[in-house]
Amino acid sequence: MGHVSTEIDTPQTATRPDGLPSYYPESYLPDPTDRPSLLKRAGGAILGVLALLAKFGKAALLLLGKAKILTTAGSMLVSVAAYALIWGWQFGAGFVLLLLVHELGHVIQLRREGVPATAPLFIPFMGAVVGMKQLPDDAAAEARVGLAGPVLGSLGCLVPLALYGATGNELFQALAFTGFFLNLFNLLPVVPLDGGRAMAALSPWMWLVGFALLLAAAVAFPNPIILIILVFGGFETYRRFKTRKDPQQQAYYRVRPATRAAIAAVYVGLAIALVAGMDMTHLARTFADA
């Protein structure tokens, strides 16, 4: 086979004064005297980039703002799925909604007290939690935040109770009973439960009573959740008692008698109401029902 040449004829290679080939189109060359026009174009490009950044930046801020809602919704769905494996999706969904109402009570009161808080986070078989980014101003405010959850949560239990009265469906009866029990359990006077936060304004010595009651419950009814609360409660109780002689802590726990009496009335009255609610909605089970 013969050799094929790869040489290609090219145009004249004479150059222009600016160093470009003579055949380079004139229209491609910028006019060096048109500096304002170049600046305008460059400025327009910069403004366009800034507009895009502002647009996407705003979208990013909106997504960040919705991240808390998405986290709460996602953890709620996971909890519903976990409870549904044992009790069915209807009970699981109803139970998670009752938990949400309880936690919203804390969130609302925290905002009223001017305390930044996280969005509710649901943990399957552990309930839900709202994190405070700082302690309230005093023990009275902490007690109000603690009691707000069971108060609103107990009111929320009236919804399935009313539905049970209207329909006779035992699903709503079971949800009402479970909700009443959940809020009553949270009134145990031991931190980090809501009742322990109420005791901060009454008598911190009640934490020891609550811890003893919870320990007795753990022995009588062994349960990993109770054990976890015992561990956290023990550390928190020890920490608070260790610093109780600090002047700043003494000022924190100083509560007016009238406020203390009001908190005690809400605490005792709510506990009695919840016991009555549990008695009203108790569903007797037999081995034949199992």
- pLDDT confidence band for 68 (50 / 70 / 90): low
Beta carbons of 147 and 166 less than 8 angstroms apart: no
- pLDDT confidence band for 17 (50 / 70 / 90): very low
Neighbours of 34 (CB within 10 A): 11
Question: 209 φ, ψ to 5°?
Answer: -65, -45
Q: How far is CA 36 from the centre of its chain?
A: 55
Of 2-6, 39-43, 63-67, 233-237, which range is least confident? 2-6
Neighbours of 153 (CB within 10 A): 26
pLDDT at 74 over 80: yes
pLDDT at 73 over 90: no
| Domains in the chain: boundaries | 66-281
pLDDT at 113 over 80: yes
Among the ranges 64-68, 114-118, 211-215, which has the highest mean pLDDT value? 114-118
Residue 62: its pLDDT value, please? 45
**H/E run at residue 183:** helix 170-185
Residue 2: its pLDDT value, please? 42
Of 23-32, 121-130, 227-236, which range is least confident? 23-32
Residue 165: its pLDDT value, please? 94
| pLDDT tens per residue, range 176-227 | 999 999 999 999 888 888 999 999 888 878 888 888 888 888 888 777 877 8
Tokens of 79: 């909890």
Residue 25: its pLDDT value, please? 44
Please count the CA atoms within 13 angstroms of the CA of 73 that sit on its side-chain side.
5
Count Cβ atoms within 10 A of the Cβ of residue 281 and give its class: 0-12 exposed, 13-18 middle, 19 or more buried.
Answer: buried
Q: What is d(CA 112, CA 149) in angstroms, rounded to the nearest whole number?
A: 13
Residue 119: its pLDDT value, please? 84
> Residue 127's closest CA among 236, 197, 225?
225
pLDDT at 168 over 80: yes
> Residue 267's closest CA among 200, 178, 174?
200
pTM value is: 0.71
Residue 19: its pLDDT value, please? 43
Its sign, for the CA torsion 238, 147, 189, 219, is negative
**H/E run at residue 129:** strand 127-129
Q: What is d(CA 201, CA 145) in angstroms, rounded to the nearest whole number?
A: 11
Q: Give exposure, 222-235, as e/b (b: 16+ Cβ within 10 Å).
A: eeeebeebbeebee
Q: What is d(CA 184, CA 191) in angstroms, rounded to the nearest whole number?
A: 14
Beta carbons of 274 and 173 less than 8 angstroms apart: no
Neighbours of 193 (CB within 10 A): 22
More confident residue, 239 or 67: 239
pLDDT at 152 over 50: yes
Average pLDDT over residues 123-127: 85
Q: What is d(CA 151, CA 121) in angstroms, rounded to the nearest whole number?
A: 19
Maximum C-alpha span of the chain: 112
Please count the CA atoms within 13 angstroms of the CA of 52 that sit on its side-chain side.
5
- How open is the CA angle 110-116-122, to the nearest 5 degrees? 75
Q: Which residue has the tokens 């935040």?
A: 145
Residue 135: its pLDDT value, please? 79
